[in-house]
Chain A
């Protein structure tokens, strides 16, 4: 059974940093693109970043470029999102999501981790 379990969320002050983690199991993690998607309170889903199987190709939402870094450790079956210079508008539930082999959509999602940005 595919499982994606996020952790690392919490309360951080504006300008602060946070590192989210996603522990993957139930599939060959190193074989799939992975992604972070967020949802601000009362808002819709918003894609944040993608990373290729080997970690050598990444894509970011324009508003997080230069502040967020997506990475992965295939040996640990883990996905990460390093978030720096956090802003109030980054407050959201962050979901880890998995792509299938050849699709441009997600087949599995984690349960999410809440990031609150406030002084």
Chain B
């Protein structure tokens, strides 16, 4: 059971906007910014968003937001290369540990 809750799977067509969510509590997402990581075919994770900031080299169709204890990653203008597993993560001060969501498998139809 992951400390953060993500949808198991999300799908969308090319060009569509999709939003992935990550729900935690006041000890983690409610307190800290969230990182989002893309993993293609079980390769190394790649950071695609931290907080609401876009890392260098990540297309600006990716955006992030947070409301209370839920963080969201939005991909506007979905591309075939966006098909991947996406994980969210942040620190939990009560657990004194980094916590992850179980991951969302994004399928581009």
A residues touching B (Cβ–Cβ < 8 Å)?
A: 35, 37, 39, 44-47, 50, 59-61, 95, 97, 100, 103-112
Contact = CB atoms under 8 A, between A and B. Distances in A.
B108 interface: no
A59 B90 contact: no
B89 interface: yes
A107 B55 contact: yes
B85 to A, nearest CB: 8
B19 interface: no
A37 B35 CA distance: 14
A105 B47 contact: yes
Contacts of B99: 47
Interface in B76-109: 85, 87, 89-91, 96-103
Interface of A is mostly: strand
Contacts of B100: 44-47
Interface string B48-67: 00110001000000000000
A104 B96 contact: no
A108 B47 contact: yes
Contact of B44 (A47, A95, A103, A105): A95
B68 interface: no
Given A45-B100, A47-B99, A59-B96, A111 B37 contact: no
Contacts of B98: 35, 37, 47, 50, 104
B1 to A, nearest CB: 11
A12 to B, nearest CB: 21
Contacts of A111: 43-44
Contact of B102 (A35, A44, A108): A44
Nearest to A108: B47
Contact of A109 (B32, B33, B47, B91): B47
B51 A103 contact: yes
B47 A44 contact: no
22 contacts: A39-B42, A44-B2, A44-B101, A45-B39, A45-B89, A47-B97, A47-B98, A60-B97, A61-B97, A95-B44, A97-B45, A100-B50, A103-B35, A104-B35, A104-B91, A105-B33, A105-B35, A105-B51, A105-B89, A106-B35, A110-B44, A111-B44
